[in-house]
């Protein structure tokens, strides 16, 4: 599988990354292992998790499933923000990061993390405190590269300036929600990432399954699907894509894909990979066959003209 460098000076990642957010939440350890092994066999080397996924079980399941093949892959994980009821004081953000990394290393069963994300920016803690602490982890060899997620364009720019001024390890990538049904990031966040030398790693590329073609307007969602799970769990946020406007868009995307001999899933991922800023697309899976479908999408290399045509639909 093709690999791309994460931003300026970051690690090489497979263009499809396995999102492990389902581990420990929607699927158990045995099913998670099957998904991980399918990903390894398909050439995926980028595995994305977080300490908050599944209450830590995602990291545990991933580490156990990788076993002796850990050195073949790049593990990306994320530390959680400070608890909402914990007031900021100097040093508390640094303590949160140091505690988090030790927990992630233990659960993953490894002595280093390839890409360590600040999952969310701290509302009150200065970015200087976060970057200085993360730089310590890089110098100690516990973390190889840094990245952030869920940040604004201004926060991306500011973090780059601080790291450069202080001579600290810098963020090399940013993870953002981006898909054919969620494109607001194109206005400012993507340009800021590109200008700062960050590789972009989109998540939710299939818009909670809307871009798989499995859903039909006015028809019940399959119970084992993400939207079916969201409805059962009362998680309305996951179902925000299921609007009349988006169903119409999906029909247009499906028609374009079919005319070119591909599926709408292949179009959704192929379109993102055609964006110059994108390094790797995070796609989750609960079954090995879903991994295969995500990997198959890399076979469609959209031209710039086709990518523009799709964006205009």
Catalytic residue positions, numbered: 53
Query: How many helices and strands, by DSSP H and E, does the chain display?
Result: 11, 10
Pairing assessment for the beta strands 3-5 and 12-14 based on DSSP bridges: antiparallel
Closest CA to 212 of 199, 226, 192: 226
Residues 155, 46: contact at Cβ < 8 Å? no
**Which residue stretches of 91-233 are H helix?**
92-108, 127-139, 153-166, 189-196, 226-233
- Coil/strand/helix, residue 219: coil
Is-contact 74 43, C-beta < 8 A? no
Kind plus residue range of the DSSP H or E element containing 19:
strand 16-19
* List of residues 6+ apart from 82 with CB closer than 8 A: 88, 92, 93, 96, 122, 125
């Amino acid at each position: 599988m093709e690999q791309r460098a994460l931003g300026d000076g970051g690690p090489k990642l497979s263009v499809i990354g396995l999102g492990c957010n389902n581990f420990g939440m929607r699927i158990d350890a045995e099913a998670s292992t099957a998904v991980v092994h399918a990903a390894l066999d398909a050439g995926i080397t980028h595995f994305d998790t977080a300490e908050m996924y599944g209450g830590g079980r995602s990291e545990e399941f991933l580490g156990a499933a990788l076993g002796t093949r850990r050195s073949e892959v790049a593990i990306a994980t994320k530390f959680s923000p400070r608890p909402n009821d914990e007031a900021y004081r100097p040093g508390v953000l640094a303590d949160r990061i140091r505690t988090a990394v030790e927990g992630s290393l233990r659960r993953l069963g490894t002595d280093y993390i390839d890409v360590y994300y600040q999952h969310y920016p701290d509302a009150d803690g200065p970015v200087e405190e976060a970057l200085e602490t993360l730089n310590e982890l890089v110098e100690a060899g516990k973390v190889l590269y840094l990245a952030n997620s869920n940040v604004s364009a201004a926060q991306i720019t500011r973090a780059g300036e601080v790291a450069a001024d202080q001579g600290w390890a810098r963020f090399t990538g940013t993870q953002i929600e981006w898909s054919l049904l969620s494109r607001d990031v194109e206005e400012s966040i993507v340009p800021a990432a590109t200008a700062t030398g960050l590789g972009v790693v989109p998540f939710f590329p299939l818009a909670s399954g809307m871009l798989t073609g499995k859903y039909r307007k006015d028809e019940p969602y399959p119970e084992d699907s993400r939207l079916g799970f969201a409805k059962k769990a009362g998680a309305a946020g996951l179902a925000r894509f299921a609007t009349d406007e988006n169903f119409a868009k999906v029909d247009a995307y499906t028609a374009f894909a079919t005319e070119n001999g591909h599926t709408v899933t292949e179009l959704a991922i192929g379109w993102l990979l055609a964006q110059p800023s994108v390094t790797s697309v995070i796609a989750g899976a609960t079954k090995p066959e879903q991994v295969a479908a995500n990997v198959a999408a890399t076979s469609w290399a959209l031209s710039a003209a086709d990518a523009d045509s799709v964006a205009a639909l």
